[in-house]
Each structure stands twice: as C-alpha cells, then as structure tokens.
Structure 1
C-alpha cells in the first residue's frame, strides 16, 4: 500500500502543481482552467481515498476496534510496517481535510444564497443592471438567468468600447460557469496543501479566459487590456455576496500578468492538456489498487 500512498498522495499532487506552472500559459486559458480544475479535484479525491485507506489501518490497530471486527492487530500493522507512522499521519490528515472541505462547502452555500437574494432585488428582464453606487465594482451573478451587476461608479470610468469589453468579460464568466471551476479548485486545495497554488492558478486562468473572450468579441486586444486594467485597479473590495463567487483571481495583484498576456499573446497548444489528464487517470487506477489491497489486508487479518 505504501507505493500507492507515495504516488497518489505525494507524487501526483506535486506533478499537477508543476504541470499547472509549466503548461498553464501554453494552453488556451479556457481549456487550461477546466483541465486543471478537474485534474486538481481528481488528484485531491484520489489522495483523500488513499489517506482514508491508511486511516482505516490506523483505526484497525486500536484494540477495541480490532476486537469488535475480529481483526489481528499484528497483521494489520504488518501492512504498513516499513513506515508505521504513515497510518496515523493519514488519520490526522483526513480529520483536518474533512473540516476544511466542510468549511469550503458552507462558504460557497452562503455565497450562493447571498447571490440569489441579491439577484431577487434586481429589476426583472435585464441581464445587465446598473446600480447607483459611487464605488467602482462589476461582477457576474450566476443563476438562471445569470445577471451582470455594474455600479454607476464603474460605468463612469469606462468609455463605450471599454464598457463593452467589461460586459463581454463578465458574460464569459457566466457562459463558462467559471465560479464552478474556482470552487472545484478550492475543494481540491482544502484536501491537499500542494494543490493550493493550483487553485489560485485556476482562478487566474478563468480571468484570462474571460479576457480572451472579450478580445474575440471586440477584436481589439489593447482596448480590452485598458478596460480590464482600469476596471480591476479601480474595483473596491467586494462587499456583495455575489461578488465573492468570482473574487478569486480578479485581485489587482494579477492585473499586470493579465495585461501582459493580452498584449503579448503566445501560441496556444492543445495536446499538452493530455499530461494532467493522464496523471488523473493513473492516480484513479492506483487508488483502486490501494482499496483492493486494503480489503485483502483486512480479510487476511480476520482469517488469522
């Protein structure tokens, strides 16, 4: 079982992290965001199952549990004999990760409820709503239908083409369900610390994907870069519940990288997306073997 732990809990998340850093700029942003969001989630899920399997072996060594299920503690301990501490480390990790996942899920539910409440207060039949507010802000409210909220303070900052670029950017967030991809990254990061930079990368990539969508609609990279830069730098700290759904990746700190990518576009490849997909597939297969090994170990412990 230790080889499965080494691959699925240690190696794969690390390789996914490296792949996100090395390949994130070589893929189309929309493709990269989806690939790395789902790969991170699969890698985190596989790591969680492997950790849970080792946590079970730790619990199985507890005398009262071993007597209850008629397991031999010696046989169970022999399954992780080379590194016995791994099972207890896994048990602690599972407890902490479970708490982190619950926190992420509850936070998202609160944000969605807030977004629905705010959407209910907006005028019906309008996909873009201008709200009287001197602060500069603009964000997408997911839903059926999705809405775009722009403050009057933000509108005054932008000319017509820049405003069109802003709306195209926010529409791309809605069309691509980018808030879901960001949430998948957050779930993965809650399970495994190595995937936290990947989650931040996904947040950046969905912003890049929305930027490129605006470019395709307007046909002017410079105008989009100016609009996105102006809007992002002027945006006040999001206080509305809906804004928090797409807050990750839109902070002023990443604006220079987004503008640079808009003004100096590189050649986008697709085949390199196979790398993280293959990693996800291998870790799922190894996780299946890990569960099979666990079942066989517990059956052997009961026979003794």
Structure 2
C-alpha cells in the first residue's frame, strides 16, 4: 500500500488550518453546517484508512500466514504499523462510546429537571446561573432561577431567543456530529470546538435579529458569562470573541468562503478511494493465492 492510506490523517491537519481562516468572516450558519460536514467526512475517511491498515494483520493468521514465502505477492504494511492502526481504531471507538453516553446521560438529567410549560420553558430552582437548550421531541429551554435573578426583562428575552434558536436549527445534532468526528480522530478536536463556537454565534445572530439590538445581545452574553464564572468569562476567548463579533455588523459572506475546506475534504475523499482500491487489490492477490 502506498502513501495514500496515510494521507487522510495528514490532510486532517490541513483541514483544521484552512478552516480557521475560511470561517473567520463567514456567516455562522454557513460555518456551523460546513465545518460539521467537513469534520464528519474527514473522520470517516480517517477511520476507513485505519481499518485498511489494521486488516493487513490478517496476513499473520492461517491460512494466509503460510503465503508469506510466495514470490510476487504484494506486501502489506509492516506489522507495527498495522498494530498502531488497530490500537487507534480501538481507542477511537472507546472515545466515541464515552462521548455518546455522556451526551445521552446529560440530556436525560436535564429533561428530568422539570416539565416544560406551554411556551416550552422549564424554570429550575438552581442557584447556578444557566440557560440550556434541551434537545428532544419536543425540545425545551431550561433556565435556572440563578440566571433569571441576574438578568433584567430585556436580557431574559435575549437568552430565550438565543436558546430557542439552538432548538429551532437543531444545533445539538451538528455539535454532536463534530464531537463524534473528534472522538474517532483527535486531530479534529479544533474543528469540534469551532463548530460549538459557531453554533453559539449562530444563536447570537438569531437573537440579535429577533431583538433588533446587537449591543444588548453583546451585553447579555457578557453578563451571563460573568454571572456563571467571572474568572472564566474574563479569560475565556470564546465569550470575548462572541461579544466582539456582536459589536460589528452582521457577517454577510457567502458559502463560497468554505470552498477551500471543501476542496480539502474532496482531496481526503479522493485519496481514501485510492487507498481502498489498493487495499482491494492487495486482498484479492492474497485471497486468490490462498
């Protein structure tokens, strides 16, 4: 097998790098969807190529192990490489299951916090200031009394508009896709974080459009973050970046900003097809000799 089987891992790093630049001025809705799809595609290709490498371990299992001495058979990858690939596959599977269980258990606990009112709102008597979009059928917004006490009436409207935007556009699905991709391919962790950030920006922009006051939304984002954790809010880059973005006009870029990341994903898919063809030829040669 040639270099093609290793390229999806290397190109994942390139995808992360170009995506950071491409989404800088892209509309959050475009960026969230595009990055989630890119992460999913890159993770699928990475997993396939690890599978190709790991399956070459079968040449050490009878009856294939008896064919090692035959001349003319294409040689699989070195054993240590195949073992590392198998270990990475197993590690990724464990990480994926752990992430899925954590998300499932967290959602169950949040749904158990109370029964939604007619407007899809649950007010939990918790001191910690939080507002959470709880996915489901139907989804609802969970707001704690700690946060309600920290905000005035207009700011509460901002929070509800923000969380309802998460529910309306099913941001939980996009964030979960990116998280699953990063679980199986840790090189994509920056993309996972970028999708989560862009989903927050998307909800910020939806709230700003509904309320009609970008400055108010910016102040509300900062105030809610400070109420939750003053130290984290002051040093948290994502909160500061969201506030700065809301201080500027709404982004008006188009999907064309994601053409470069899309080209990288297409390249990852192409080299994966090449690797698949090489693996198929290798498998056919060995199985034919058996």
Is the TM-score greater than 0.5?
yes
Structure 2 portions without partners, runs of 5+ = none
- Are residue 110 (structure 1) and residue 110 (structure 2) matched? no
Give the conservation status (yes or no) of the 8 Å contact 2:36–2:195. yes
1:192 to 176, 182, 185: 185
Q: CA deviation at 1:99?
A: 1.4
Deviation at 1:252, TM superposition (A): 4.8
Distance 1:267 1:2 in 2: 43
Change in Cα spacing, 1:180 to 1:79, as seen in structure 2 (3 Å) is same
The equivalent position to 1:78 in structure 2, one of 75, 87, 99, is 75
1:178 counterpart residue number: 171
Shift in CA distance, 134/110, structure 1 to aligned 2, threshold 3 Å: closer
Instruction: Choose from 258, 261, 281 the match for 2:242.
Output: 258
Structure 1 unpaired stretches of 5+: 238-250
Alpha carbons 2:47, 2:89 under 8 Å: kept: yes
Q: CA deviation at 1:300?
A: 0.8
CA separation in 1, counterparts of 2:6 and 2:262? 19
- Cα distance change of structure 1 residues 71 and 135 upon mapping to structure 2, 3 Å threshold: same
2:215 alignment partner, one of 186, 209, 222: 222
User: SS at 1:148's partner residue?
Assistant: strand
Aligned length: 282
State the SS of the aligned residue for 1:122.
coil
Verify the 8 A CA contact 2:30 2:254 in the aligned structure 1.
no
Decide whether aligned partners of structure 1 residues 92 and 84 sit closer, same or farther in structure 2, where only a CA change above 3 A counts. same
| More displaced 10-residue stretch of structure 1: 124-133 or 39-48 | 124-133
Asked if 1 retains the 8 angstrom alpha-carbon contact of 2:19 and 2:258, the reply is no
- 1:274 maps onto 2:269 in alignment: no
Give yes or no for contact 1:204–1:254 (8 Å, CA) kept in 2.
yes
Q: What is aligned with 2:282?
A: 297
Give the secondary structure class of the aligned counterpart of 1:129: strand
Question: Equivalent residue of 1:134, what SS?
Answer: coil
Q: Closer, same or farther in 2 for the Cα pair 1:112/1:159, shift >3 Å?
A: closer
The CA deviation string for residues 48-107 of structure 1, in whole angstroms up to 9 with x for no partner, is 1001101111x1232xx1x23577336777243xx6643232122112112111211222
- Structure 1 runs (4+) deviating above 6 angstroms are none
Change (3 A) 1:148 1:222: same
CA RMSD of aligned residues (A): 2.4
Which residue does the alignment assign to 2:54?
Answer: 55
Residue 32 of structure 2 is matched in structure 1 by 33
